[in-house]
Each structure stands twice: as C-alpha cells, then as structure tokens.
Structure 1
C-alpha cells in the first residue's frame, strides 16, 4: 500500500516537473527569440534554439530535482 502511494506521488511530481519545465522553456524561448530577432534582424535557427533549450534544461532541471527530493523526504521519511 505504501509502495503504491509512493509510486503515485512520484508520478505526480514527475508530471508537475514536466509541466513546469515546458512552461518555463516555452516562455523563455519565445522571449529569447524575440530579443534575438530585434538584435540580429532574424529569428533563431534550429541549432541555436536547440542549444538554448539544452541550456535551459540544465539550468532548471537540477533545482526541480532537489525540490522533488526534499518534498519526498518531508512527506514520507519524516512524516
């Protein structure tokens, strides 16, 4: 029973992390593309966009992973 609760909770955290990443990526990429278009008078090409997405993934995935571990620790190990 506890195992199923932990699995469902971890799935919910994963979905939440994915939604946050998607929202932040799309918002940041649009903002960066607008800035890039004003500065260089052309939109970002696919290679530049993929490099920027990779940077955002590295920048946001680690703190989200730490938050997920802390929530898991507080709810299931301490609680």
Structure 2
C-alpha cells in the first residue's frame, strides 16, 4: 500500500486501474461529514492507526456500510 503513493515515472494512459487504495478512498468519500481521505502515505498511516483502535474501526466500518446501503437504495 505504501508503494502506491510513490510517484515515479509517468502515469499510464487509458482507464484508471481499480486498486485497493482507490476503493478505500471511494468508500471513505461516501461518508457524510468525513475528513478522512486516502491521498497520501500520511493518510494511510492515520487509517492504520484507526484500524488498531477496535472501537474506532468498528464505528468507521459501520458508517461506510450505512453510506453504501443508502447509496444503493437511491439507485
């Protein structure tokens, strides 16, 4: 995951790859009133810290699940 944020060389042309960091960031962006993003290695370390705090991780994953379910019910 840390290697994802290393920017060496040029970007590939075409459709963006669906990678784990992309999916995690998309899930985090669905949460209303959320200041979490996965845009840098610092953000990744912060997310790792939250993951080590069982109560905080449970709350975060519940909020992501609620947002995903709300998004599906709208469509």
Same fold, TM exceeding 0.5? no
Tell me the TM-score normalised to structure 1 length.
0.35
Structure with the larger helix share: 1
Rg: which structure is higher? Answer: 1
